[in-house]
Amino acid sequence: MKNERRVRQARKIRVDSGLNKDMQAKLVILFILVLLAFAGLSVKLISITRDNGEQYKKQVLSQQKYNSVTLPYKRGDILDCKGNKLATSEKVYNMIVDAKVMLDKDESLEETMAALRDCFPSLDISSIRNHVTENPTSQYYIVAKRLTYDEISKFVEMDNDNETYPNIAGVWFEDEYKRIYPNNTLASDVLGFTVKGEGGQYGLEQYYNSVLEGTNGRDYGYLNEDETLERTTIPATDGYNIVTTIDANVQQIIEKYLYEFNENNKNAVRDGNGANNLGCIIMDVNSGEILGMASYPTFNLNDPRDTSRLIGMKECDLKGNIAYDATVLTEENIAEELADEELKNANLANLWKNFCISNTYEPGSTYKPFTVACGLESGKLTGEEYYTCNGSLPVANHNIKCHNYKKGGCGTLSVLGAVENSCNVSLMLMGRQIGASTFLEYQNKYNFGLKTNIDLYGESRTDTLVFTGDSMGETELATSTFGQGFNVTMIQMITGFCSLINGGYYYEPHMVSKITAADGSTVKTISPRVLKQTISAQTSNQIVEYCVGVVKEGTGKTARPAGYMIGGKTGTAETVPRDRTNYVLSFMGFAPADNPQIAIYVVVDRPNSWVQDNVGFATRLCRSILTEVLPYMNIYMTEELSEKEEQELAELNITVKRANVEEELTEEEATDSPDLDENGNVNAHGGDVTSSTQVTQEEMNSDDVETAPLTGTVLNMETGDAVKEETNEIPY
Q: Is-contact 582 575, C-beta < 8 A? A: yes
What mean pLDDT comes out for the span 226-237? 75
Q: Is-contact 71 218, C-beta < 8 A? A: yes
In this structure, the strands spanning 171-180 and 713-715 are unpaired
Per DSSP, helices labelled H in 536-575 are 537-553
Cis geometry, peptide bond prior to residue 592 (ω within 30 degrees of 0): yes
Which residues, listed in sequence order, are joined to residue 237 by a DSSP beta bridge?
A: 215
**b/e sequence 99-130, b meaning 16+ C-beta within 10 Å:** beebbeeeebbebbbebbeebbeeeeeeebbe
Q: Is-contact 242 207, C-beta < 8 A? A: no
The CATH number for 364-636, chosen from 3.10.20.10, 3.30.1060.10, 3.40.718.10, 3.40.710.10, is 3.40.710.10
For residues 337 and 314, give the distance between their C-alpha atoms in angstroms, rounded to a whole number: 11
The DSSP letter of residue 66 is: E
Nearest to 179 by CA among 239, 248, 122: 239
The pLDDT, as a whole number, for residue 297 is: 95
Q: Is-contact 275 261, C-beta < 8 A? A: yes
> Please, which contacts does 194-199 make with residues 24 or more away whose CB atoms are closer than 8 Å?
194/75
The pLDDT, as a whole number, for residue 667 is: 45
Provide the residue ranges of all domains of the chain, joining segments of one domain with +: 69-187+216-242, 364-636
Which residues, listed in sequence order, are joined to residue 587 by a DSSP beta bridge?
A: 570, 602
- DSSP notation for 615-660: THHHHHHHHHHHHHHHHHTTPPB-SPPPHHHHHHHHHTTPPP-B-S
Per DSSP, helices labelled H in 163-270 are 188-191, 203-207, 209-212, 248-265
Distances (CA, A) of 468 to 9, 388, 712: 129, 29, 10
HEC sequence for 673-703: CCCECCCCCECCCCCCCCCCEECCHHHHCCC
- What angle (nearest 5°) sits at the alpha carbon of residue 448, between those of residues 447 and 452? 55
Nearest to 101 by CA among 76, 65, 51, 61: 65
3-state SS, residue 199: strand
Q: Is-contact 401 392, C-beta < 8 A? A: yes
What mean pLDDT comes out for the span 406-427? 94
Confidence of residue 710 (pLDDT cuts 50, 70, 90): very low
For 159-184, what is each residue's pLDDT tens digit? 999 889 998 999 999 899 999 999 99
The CATH number for 69-187+216-242, chosen from 1.10.150.120, 3.40.50.10490, 3.90.1310.10, 3.20.20.190, is 3.90.1310.10
Question: Is residue 695 predicted with pLDDT exceeding 80?
Answer: no
For 578-600, what is each residue's pLDDT tens digit? 777 889 999 999 999 999 999 99
Cis geometry, peptide bond prior to residue 297 (ω within 30 degrees of 0): yes
What distance separates the 2 farthest-apart alpha carbons in the chain?
180
Q: CATH topology of 69-187+216-242 equal to that of 364-636?
A: no
For 364-382, what is each residue's pLDDT tens digit? 999 999 999 999 999 999 9
Confidence of residue 335 (pLDDT cuts 50, 70, 90): very high
Nearest to 605 by CA among 487, 712, 455, 511: 487
Amino acid letter, residue 250: V
The pLDDT, as a whole number, for residue 434 is: 97
Confidence of residue 664 (pLDDT cuts 50, 70, 90): very low
The pLDDT, as a whole number, for residue 669 is: 45
Confidence of residue 36 (pLDDT cuts 50, 70, 90): confident
**With pLDDT > 90 as the criterion, what percentage of the chain qualifies?**
70
pTM for the model = 0.84
Q: How many residues are given for the chain? A: 732
Per DSSP, helices labelled H in 470-526 are 474-480, 490-501
- DSSP notation for 443-464: HHHTTTTS----SSBTPPP-TT
Average pLDDT, the chain: 87
Please classify residue 325 by burial: count the beta carbons closer than 10 Å to its beta carbon, then call 0-12 exposed, 13-18 middle and 19+ buried: exposed
Question: Is residue 604 predicted with pLDDT exceeding 70?
Answer: yes
For 347-370, what is each residue's pLDDT tens digit? 999 999 999 999 999 999 999 999
For residues 560 and 551, give the distance between their C-alpha atoms in angstroms, rounded to a whole number: 7
Indicate left, alpha or beta for 634 from its phi (over 0: left) and psi (-120 to 50: alpha). Answer: left
For 614-625, what is each residue's pLDDT tens digit? 999 999 999 999
